[in-house]
Amino acid sequence: MQFRLFFLELTSPSINFHRGSALKDALRRSLNACFLIDNPQIVEFLFRLITFLIHDEGFFRIFRYKESSSAIVIKEFERQFDQEFGFNTAMQISPLVTFDFNAEWQAVSPTLSNLESRFPVLNYWFIRQSQEA
């Protein structure tokens, strides 16, 4: 499954996940919620998750970019994320020094589950996308 991040002038970076990836499910669920509900905790988690994936060499090598262009990708991602979700990257609560997926997912998952129970369409999107993956 691929997630398109945004469109650069010459290419459109994407992140490829293995089937059943916990990162993929977290990305999909939080992205769906962010498009429907304005929840600062989930928006920041989504921002930190995508930023982590862009910085991770295992994912970034897929892009076939030179090392120096990661700054371009991050800058464009931050600009688009601000436009999509009104998230000022300079004002984020948690620093990007470290990203512990398991700990951060544990913190945001109950909020996300609560939203999914209140807004059934989120479950529909999740089930439908899981079947397409």
Say what the pLDDT of residue 96 is. 56
Residue 86 region by backbone torsions, left for phi larger than 0, else alpha for psi between -120 and 50, else beta: left
Give the angle 111-105-13 at the CA atoms, nearest 5°: 110
Say what the pLDDT of residue 10 is. 47
State the sign of the Cα–Cα–Cα–Cα dihedral 33, 25, 75, 80: negative
Q: Are 44 and 87 in contact (CB under 8 A)?
A: yes
Per-block mean pLDDT, blocks of 10 residues, the chain (133 long): 48 64 89 92 92 75 54 80 86 69 95 92 66 54
Say what the pLDDT of residue 110 is. 97
Amino acid (1-letter code) at residue 35: F
Q: Of all helices (H) and strands (E), which one includes residue 78? A: helix 70-85
Say what the pLDDT of residue 118 is. 92
The count of residues in the chain is 133
pTM to 2 decimals?
0.77
Say what the pLDDT of residue 95 is. 56
Residue 75 phi/psi, 5° resolution? -60, -45
- Structural domain including 78 reads 2-13+22-132
Say what the pLDDT of residue 2 is. 43
Please count the structural domains in the chain.
Answer: 1
